[in-house]
């Protein structure tokens, strides 16, 4: 019975939305009804309009996620383990991250062109910072008593890192990966808004010029589903890798109770 509650709640929201639009005589160019959105979604799927653009956006998101995650892990590890690196580099990274990526996107387009490269760079820049922060927090959260114990047993810094700090940091890292995956998708779409030859963001822009609001909402629906699937994929990997993590099991139990 609990499995049906979420779909029923979504259907209730859609019914309320439909009733408000129809009873309020809201123009379609302001807020289309759900039936119009699903009709536009069906037309796009039937004509194959979305296939190429979904593939482009997914490729940009995946590549940006990989590049940004590797950068976040590497920089986060360096900052966490080296106080000198932390002192000189971390403030620069924070200042760069504070810059709005929407403002940087036009420059990235100029530097890397309208192709996929600029979108990958933009996605990587957006998603690497959350993972870097989680990596730093995770590596620094190791119990100092355990670190001292391993040192007293003549463990090398590499052994302490591999056997204590990394396992302790993995829950933080995977939490950062879940956030980074969604941010990579957002970064790719922002890059496509600024300038692109293909992609769902470019398609939204083209529909904006023709005032096809229902079509834009249908793409937003596709992006929401893609984001949910990507987040679920990372969560499944986290569940497999962190089978020993008690916090993950407790969260799963709480979710089942709800």
Q: At 256, is the pLDDT very low, low, confident or very high (cuts 50, 70, 90)?
A: very low
Please, what sign has the CA dihedral across residues 8, 12, 17, 18? positive
For the stretch 150-203, pLDDT in tens is 888 888 888 888 888 888 899 999 999 999 999 999 999 999 988 888 889 999
H-only helix segments in the chain = 2-23, 34-46, 49-81, 83-98, 101-112, 116-140, 144-152, 157-160, 166-194, 200-209, 213-241, 246-257
User: What is the C-alpha separation between 95 and 62, in angstroms, rounded?
Assistant: 26
- Residue at 21 is within a domain: no
Q: At 249, is the pLDDT very low, low, confident or very high (cuts 50, 70, 90)?
A: low
Only one residue has tokens 């490269």, namely: 117
- Residue at 11 is within a domain: no
Q: At 251, is the pLDDT very low, low, confident or very high (cuts 50, 70, 90)?
A: very low
At 10 the pLDDT is 86
For the stretch 7-40, pLDDT in tens is 888 889 989 988 999 888 888 888 899 999 999 9
For the stretch 27-76, pLDDT in tens is 888 889 999 999 999 999 998 888 889 999 999 999 999 999 999 999 99
The CATH number covering residue 165 comes to: 1.10.3720.10
The residue range of the domain holding 47 is 40-257
User: What is the C-alpha separation between 227 and 231, in angstroms, rounded?
Assistant: 6
- Residue at 61 is within a domain: yes
Upper half-sphere CA count for residue 197 (Cβ side, 13 Å): 6
Say if residue 150 is exposed, middle or buried (CB neighbours under 10 Å; 0-12, 13-18, 19+): middle
- Residue at 244 is within a domain: yes
- Residue at 14 is within a domain: no
170 with 242: CB under 8 angstroms? yes
For the chain, the domain total comes to 1
Only one residue has tokens 């779409």, namely: 189
For the stretch 102-129, pLDDT in tens is 778 888 888 888 888 999 999 999 999 8
pLDDT beyond 90 at 101: no
Tell me how far CA of residue 44 lies from CA of 29, 41, 60, 206, 229, in angstroms: 18, 5, 21, 14, 20
- Residue at 253 is within a domain: yes
- Residue at 113 is within a domain: yes
- Residue at 13 is within a domain: no
Upper half-sphere CA count for residue 55 (Cβ side, 13 Å): 4
In the chain, pLDDT over 70 holds for what percent of residues?
Answer: 93
């Amino acid at each position: 019975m609990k499995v049906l509650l979420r779909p029923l709640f979504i259907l209730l929201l859609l019914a309320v939305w439909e009733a408000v639009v129809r009873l309020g005589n809201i123009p379609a160019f302001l807020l289309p009804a759900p039936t119009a959105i699903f009709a536009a979604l069906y037309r796009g799927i039937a004509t194959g309009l979305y296939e190429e653009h979904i593939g482009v956006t997914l490729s940009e998101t995946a590549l940006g996620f990989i590049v940004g995650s590797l950068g976040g892990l590497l920089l986060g590890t360096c900052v966490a383990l080296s106080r000198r690196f932390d002192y000189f580099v971390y403030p620069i990274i924070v200042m760069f991250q504070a810059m709005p990526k929407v403002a940087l996107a036009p420059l990235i387009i100029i530097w890397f062109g309208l192709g996929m490269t600029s979108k990958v760079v933009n996605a990587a820049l957006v998603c690497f910072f959350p993972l870097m922060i989680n990596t730093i927090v995770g590596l620094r959260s190791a119990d100092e008593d355990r670190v001292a114990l391993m040192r007293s047993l003549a463990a090398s810094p590499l052994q302490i890192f591999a056997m204590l700090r990394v396992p302790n940091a993995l829950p933080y890292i995977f939490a950062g990966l879940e956030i980074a995956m969604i941010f990579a998708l957002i970064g790719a779409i922002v890059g496509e808004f600024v300038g692109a030859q293909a992609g769902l963001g470019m398609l939204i822009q083209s529909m904006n010029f023709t005032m096809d609001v229902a079509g834009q909402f249908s793409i937003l629906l596709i992006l929401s589903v893609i984001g949910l699937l990507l987040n679920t994929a990372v969560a499944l990997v986290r569940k497999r890798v962190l089978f020993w993590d008690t916090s993950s099991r407790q969260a799963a139990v709480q979710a089942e109770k709800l």
